[in-house]
Amino acid sequence: MAQGEYIELHRKRYGVRMDTHERQRKRNAREARRRAAQARNLTGIKAKLFNKQRFKEKAAMKKAINQHFENDKQSSRPRDDSVQDGALPAYLLDREQQARSKVLSNTLKQKRKEKGGKWDVPLPKVRAIAEDEMFKVIKTGKRQKKQWKRMVTKVTYVGEAFTRKAPKYERFIRPMGLRFKKAHVTHPELKTTFCLGIIGVKKNPSSAMFTQLGVITRGTIIEVNVSELGLVTNSGKVVWGKYAQVTNNPENDGCINAVLCV
């Protein structure tokens, strides 16, 4: 028998004091005051531990309260006007809607029409990148005094068919380690992210030359391959390429995150 259970055993055998419950109630009532006094008076490592514990308790409590609040809201909602959105015909009602999030809904197009602006990009302003940040000068020649060669220090997209020029003529080097073929593209309305192939760099806002080189920095518009999402145009053709804007700094993160422009 564990040592601490003698108390329980004693209680089982002899019962409890007549005023136990009253004492317990009083102790519980005093508990808040005791905790407050403790919080005021503790110092040093003891205070730190105490506060951490207290913070955890409070967070859990808040969560529980919010949960109850949500439950109340849902149960008290009148049943009559609970007509769901996204009506489906009877033959689709029992079907799994796993492909659902992949379909571009009509509402998106309407919203785009209402907004008016054609290029309403997620990141309207991006920091311009100067050439000396973008390129590293490479010294060549026997005496290392020729300085016409540049190495791109940012992430690039290089097309499938690209072959490097001979070293004598290659002015810009795009390092293999910084070449990317895929991007993580988020559909802003469906809140889902897909890993899609890059088709090309549409525009790098810093400079037309960067666009030509296929440099991908924050704010760059890239074209991605959305054929597997099953988007369809009005005339019933499959949409192949769509534009997306890069939202992170790929050279720092090692991946490209982008938002689809719809």
Partner 1 sequence: MESEKCTGATTTLIQLQSAEGQKAGGVLDVPLHSTPKQLTELLNHLLENEEPLPYAFFLRPSRTEINTSLEDALSTSSQTRETVAQIEYTPQSLFRVRPLTRCTASLPGHKEAVLVATFSPDATLIATGSGDTTVRLWSSHGQMPEATLEGHRDWVLALAFSPDAAKLASASKDGSVRVWDMTTKTGKALSSHRKWVTDLCWQPFHLDERCTLLVSSSKDSTLRIWNTANSTCAKLLAGHTAAVTTVVWSGEGVIYSASQDRTIKVWDPTTGLPTRSINAHGHWVNSMTLSTDYILKCGAFPALDEELGYAPKKMTMQEARQRYDDAKRKSTGGKERMVSGSDDFTLMLWEDIWRKEGNTKPITRMTGHQQLVNCVAFSPNGMYIASASFDKSVRLWDGTTGRFCYTFRGHVGAVYRLVWSADGRLLMSASKDSTCKVWDMRTRKLKMDLPGHSDEVYTVDWSTDGRRAVSAGKDKMVKIWHH
Q: From the list 50, 102, 105, 194, which residue makes contact with partner 1 (rule: CB under 8 A)?
A: 105
Q: From the list 91, 161, 169, 177, which residue makes contact with partner 1 (rule: CB under 8 A)?
A: 91
**Between 2 and 93, CB nearer to partner 1:** 93
Closest to 217 measured CA to CA, from 158, 168, 167, 153: 153
| Binding characters for partner 1, 173-212, by CB under 8 A (x = yes) | ----------------------------------------
H/E segment holding residue 103: none
**Amino acid sitting at position 214:** G
User: Residue 199 CB, nearest distance to partner 1 (Å)?
Assistant: 19
**Between 26 and 95, CB nearer to partner 1:** 95
H/E segment holding residue 21: helix 20-41
Instruction: Quote the tokens at residue 164.
Output: 């490097």
User: Residue 190 CB, nearest distance to partner 1 (Å)?
Assistant: 14
Does residue 236 touch partner 1 according to CB under 8 A? yes
- Cα(52)–Cα(48) distance, rounded to whole angstroms? 6
Instruction: List, as one string, the DSSP characters of 159-216.
Output: -TT--PPPTTT--EE--GGGB--EEEEEETTTTEEEEEEEEEEEE-TT-HHHHHHTEE
Binding residues for partner 1, how many (CB under 8 A)?
25
Site for partner 1 in 56-85 (CB under 8 A): 80, 83-85
Residues that bind partner 1 (CB under 8 A): 80, 83-94, 103, 105-106, 109, 230, 232-238
